[in-house]
A and B are shown apart, each in its own frame.
Chain A
């Protein structure tokens, strides 16, 4: 090729290690940032930060915000914003609390503790979120009111609708099965956690193999086999290591004694048990997988990104961008319902201030995770990592004994800094 005006492919492309592995640089950067945060706090707390117990707590504290952050990716990618997620979470939580403690027992005659109660309550919560989300999406998409305004209004409206639903009271205790979605009171236990780890690893390896097979079938360039091996090893170690850490968090003996005593038994000699994978984290993983598939493998996801990249082009390509807006906000709402389940189950009751300021945490998580506010760019895993980084910062500072006001100052500064780094990174790489 002598024509310099067109593409020039270097004759012998020199590939760095990272290029051969085809690892996303941005992902690497975020993992690096996360690692720095963890190691710093671990040093400052003399090893108390990176204990199985604290890691377990971090994961259950992150779950609710991370679930919503995956939905916020879609909202921001389509060039909108949702300031109402925390308030919507409160309304969903109030609906679920009232359904299980008052409405079902009073109007349908299901007595407290009936096995159907938690499931009906959860369905009600998710449906409430989806419907309110769809309504906000309709105002944005069809009525052309800016999302900023619709959800700023929603922030006030839904928090106080929640207040009226409960008359401002704290509702609890919540159903026991329901509470299992919250964290410490609902975990898989050691055995099933290992099983889950094995299944997840097998699935991940299968996906890697299938993608290689697919590329081969179409005659696309393949990574060298050793690179595939390295990626497979990283994935396996990552998943199984995570399970191993969670499984190392032993249930304290006094808790065991209490559980056994409740069943009229005594703890056998030398008996110990681990918590394992929390169900709330399992829920987050499921959400992450589904949302990633939607983003990458479905038309809906393709249209979300196309609309974010160029709304006019999407419209001219025959995409119904108004309906798309409704769908995106409905998904966000349904995820608020799910997050409300996790948050209220963790606290074991519904209180009016549940989810306060969550909108900021969720938006920050998405943005730290690389979602561009100008639209069209963002990843689900990035948002989850962003949520994890935020939560680590906050918990770490609390452990070190930083005052609450300073904590907030740091978190605010980190958000701005993360966006600055992202802008510089994009300018350098010329992407977006």
Chain B
């Protein structure tokens, strides 16, 4: 691909105290592409994408969006670049209902500037009808929802606001087989609409199925990035475990 990437992370570093959570990592993402991030627990995947979503500030390196240097210092900044994130920890306010969570930070308001709960609820019904037709608990606080239902709220929040760049950190970790399939279908649909998606998962087979390219991290560093058609599941596993790219070594 020679066109300018949608997202270009270059030489990103971030340390927590003495721990190098992200160590000179460079990754890019194109429109209509799904790039998977793999690696052991604590490899630095979540930290890397949190830098892109504005939750953490990088120590060094640069972020380019559509080729232009982007200054992302807060989640608010990331939203301005149409970056939406589904966090591993879901990041929902448990005491609020689905609609309040979906619109949190971007409430619809009436002409007088008051929050318009009725309209937000109606919008939530609409998007939920598309994403998860079984979702009925609109009035209850999300603490009353199952893990999968909470997940659909988090996904709905990312999808509703016309994201161009979507970050999904283990979106299927809490889901049953059926719901996992729904998320997979959704990812394909969004990809077809031209979104760029960063996907994090520990399920290697699922990743090979959904992603165009996969990047493997270990101890904060990038082991390698490969097109899925060029590698086998075993290659990926050995990259994760050994921290070496078998194709490069060969």
Q: Is A299 an interface residue (CB 8 A)?
A: yes
Contacts of A293 in B (CB 8 A): 114
Q: Is A69 an interface residue (CB 8 A)?
A: no
**Are A302 and B75 in contact (CB-based, < 8 A)?**
no
Contacts of B106 in A (CB 8 A): 318
Contacts of B178 in A (CB 8 A): 5
Q: Which of B13-39 contact A (CB under 8 A)?
A: none
- Inter-chain CA distance A307–B143, complex, in Å, is 15
- Inter-chain CA distance A314–B137, complex, in Å, is 22
Contacts of A219 in B (CB 8 A): 122
Binds B, one of A53-61, A138-146, A210-218, A408-416: A210-218
Q: Is B104 an interface residue (CB 8 A)?
A: yes
Please encode chain A, from 352 to 372, with 1 for each CB lying within 8 Å of some chain B CB and 0 for all others: 000000000000000000000
- Inter-chain CA distance A376–B118, complex, in Å, is 21
Which of A3, A302, A316 has the most CB atoms of chain B within a 10 A radius of its CB? A316
The minimal Cβ–Cβ distance linking B136 to chain A, given in whole angstroms, is 4
**Are A376 and B95 in contact (CB-based, < 8 A)?**
yes
The minimal Cβ–Cβ distance linking A59 to chain B, given in whole angstroms, is 30
- Inter-chain CA distance A376–B107, complex, in Å, is 18
Q: Is A40 an interface residue (CB 8 A)?
A: no
Binds A, one of B1-9, B84-92, B212-220, B240-248: B84-92
Please encode chain B, from 162 to 193, with 1 for each CB lying within 8 Å of some chain A CB and 0 for all others: 00000000000000101000000000000000
**Are B137 and A308 in contact (CB-based, < 8 A)?**
no
Partner of B93, one of A1, A6, A215, A313: A313
Contacts of A377 in B (CB 8 A): 95
Which of B53, B85, B91, B135 has the most CB atoms of chain A within a 10 A radius of its CB? B91
- Inter-chain CA distance A430–B106, complex, in Å, is 29
Question: With A302-B104, A318-B76 known to touch, is A309 a contact of B94 (CB < 8 Å)?
Answer: yes
Contacts of B92 in A (CB 8 A): 310, 313
Which of A306, A315, A432 has the most CB atoms of chain B within a 10 A radius of its CB? A306
The minimal Cβ–Cβ distance linking A32 to chain B, given in whole angstroms, is 24
Partner of B107, one of A1, A5, A302, A315: A302
**Are A430 and B85 in contact (CB-based, < 8 A)?**
no
The minimal Cβ–Cβ distance linking A100 to chain B, given in whole angstroms, is 36
Q: Is B115 an interface residue (CB 8 A)?
A: yes
Q: Is A9 an interface residue (CB 8 A)?
A: yes
Contacts of A308 in B (CB 8 A): 95
- Inter-chain CA distance A102–B235, complex, in Å, is 85
A-B contact pairs, 21 of them (CB 8 A): A1-B134, A5-B178, A7-B134, A7-B136, A220-B121, A298-B115, A302-B104, A308-B95, A309-B95, A310-B95, A312-B89, A313-B90, A314-B104, A315-B75, A316-B53, A316-B85, A316-B91, A317-B105, A318-B105, A377-B95, A432-B141
Which residues of A are in contact with B by a Cβ distance under 8 Å? 1, 3, 5-7, 9, 214-215, 217-220, 293, 297-299, 301-303, 305-310, 312-319, 376-377, 430-432
